A and B are shown apart, each in its own frame.
Chain A
């Protein structure tokens, strides 16, 4: 019977091509708009490091003064210099990395080469293994390099292209802030989105151009900023040239903890550390620590741009309107068949059968609308990618979203068709047959 209903549905749609076309177009536009925005949202809220996100944690401690007007309960996102150094040494963890960023005047180590400001991330050796950063040439520096303040650098592929034409530059030297650094590695294309490890520095920013050992970097001239620095007190620029200013936070810190037991003992270590600092008089507040996993951290930071969330809501508003519109058109469409339905009922079809027939017709419209909607969503995403906003580049349609689009179209059409179909199945056969 469904095959026959399908045939009937196609015939019926062919008979009223305009009405059918309008319904499909309405569904297609609704699907196109909402899938476009859903894809943007889906990509922006995705897991930046699938497979590793479960073992990465973001510790926070609270060094703020006890009376800080307007302060929230949430400890600062980043660490002060002292806490960064202390937490870096705190306890035995599988891996940990302290980091910050700025930009530094950089050039090839050859006479007459032009200086340019390049963005860098200063971090410690575990960064690369902990975050699964792929290497094209060479490898990360060692913990020994961190300890000895070695002048070594890992380049991004883009900077390696710019400085060395993309050749294997391991062992070559570059001049960074007038100091000579030896290239130990070149990483491949790596820029997890959102850029979870430094959300305050821009969750959807470009990747950093080079990576330097944290403690070596601190030895460089203090004139190029310290990441997203935040100072409490009356002088917001207190730490501009003094990263060790006790009231300024600017270092991000991440640890890898492989088991729940490790997580628990690390949390206790943080509380213990805070208590100790309080006894020493450095901390004024009772231990106030956080140890969020990567995904919880992204949740807490609300990294999805507010405009994207708003546009998603609006896109669903549009979708809702498309649905109301489709319901209206379907009511018209099915009622028009009252005569036909009356005859079918008079010839013995049950209400159920009429309902099924109408619903299949709605489903056909849904599939067609969904199929039309896909190129529209593709077009919409292309338009999003043309926009000069930082997150635009990630707007691509993947297989999951394609499936979701089609499913959404069919479900929407069936939902929109259910009530009109039910109404159609209530048509009184006698009345209709009489009027024929």
Chain B
């Protein structure tokens, strides 16, 4: 296959070739960035929170001040633990659900904020209910827990922190036994867990979390109650637990009963919806580009019928003609892809500036190039086959 005659032929169609290259380059620029955005969303929606997601359910039971309510938090936790199928239960909320962020300081005067962290605060058994993986130190011990009557006014609390937060607060050193400060009290690191993400935004501080337990008992508090069920039995167990909790607390309003999977679905709902719209736009883009390529290709085939006939008459096989058009398309798409890579980075810079998008990794451009090469070959196949079918006798006819 000789490239030179193809280039010579393309030179006499400068306008059309330029437009085609431009179109492919623009497609490439948008394609690369869109795939990057969509794939990023998808990846984010699959990032684990670090808790036993398949087994955790939430019951939001809101206390109504002024309504008679015999239940206490301690009773409620005990009651939930007695529900068949419940492995652990506590008072407190799971990740991806109204998580409160707070500031972490290393100095007691709280002058220099070191990190922004998520505080998981709840009753005894919070870390066990979440099913966290301890990698260092030991779990919170019941006898160390501050009493819930001191909620918010304790001088120092024992806590578990994530490995990411430990590395941020105490770089290089051992975090165990160390102290840091949140808005109201000192926090003593009792253990380190591998991951606990309150939110999944893609930023590293998603995984900056601290777990604090209080000993709850005689209080009548509403809020989130959480259960961890035996594997595979979450839904029936959660329903039974919710029913039992409502029965024991007639003065509460049970507002939401969610499994962790439902919370995750709600959390990513609008992101995934956006992703779907972007995929729709992507498909339109590819269709339009394919239409453009095949439209111009069929125009060229029609225009060159005589030349094709001559080549056939001079001994070129159908395969030669087919390959000629395929090679021509490959050259044009390649030029488009090269120009498109530049456009893609330019567009990425713009998106980074306006929408805080991350930098486009070059891998996406390789994917974009492969897609466009394949698309180009697919689009040109029809016209090229038609060209290959031109009989040699055409050469002898005048137009």
Contact = CB atoms under 8 A, between A and B. Distances in A.
Contacts, number: 150
A328 B287 contact: no
Contacts of B285: 318, 321
Given A26-B292, A177-B65, A321-B23, A310 B101 contact: no
Contacts of B15: 331, 423
B202 interface: no
Chain B interface mostly helix, strand, loop or mixed? helix
Interface in B233-277: 253, 255, 269-270, 273-274, 276-277
Interface string B15-58: 11001101100110110001000000000000000000000000
Contact of B19 (A234, A317, A328): A328
A389 B273 contact: yes
B274 A307 contact: yes
Nearest to B270: A389
Given A19-B299, A178-B67, A234-B103, A322 B288 contact: yes
B284 interface: yes
Contacts of A35: none
A115 B64 contact: yes
Contact of A328 (B183, B296, B351): B296
A117 B253 contact: yes
Contacts of A19: 295, 298-299
A19 B301 CA distance: 13
B102 A336 contact: no
Given A318-B285, A325-B292, A329-B295, A223 B184 contact: no
A63 B303 CA distance: 76
A384 interface: yes
Given A117-B255, A178-B65, A310-B355, A332 B284 contact: no
B67 A324 contact: no
Given A324-B22, A388-B269, A332 B66 contact: no
B100 A234 contact: no
Chain B, interface residues (CB within 8 Å), range: 35 or more
Q: Which of B67, B103, B255, B285 has the most CB of A within 10 A?
A: B285
A318 B284 contact: yes
Given A221-B65, A223-B65, A321-B26, A332 B100 contact: no
Nearest to B302: A336
B281 to A, nearest CB: 6
A336 B269 CA distance: 51
Given A115-B253, A221-B66, A223-B63, A18 B298 contact: yes
Interface of A: 18-19, 22-23, 25-26, 29-30, 32-33, 69, 105, 115-117, 177-179, 221, 223, 233-237, 306-307, 309-311, 314-315, 317-318, 320-322, 324-325, 327-329, 331-333, 336, 380, 383-384, 387-390, 392, 423
Given A223-B63, A311-B278, 6 more contacts: A105-B253, A117-B255, A237-B152, A307-B274, A314-B281, A331-B19
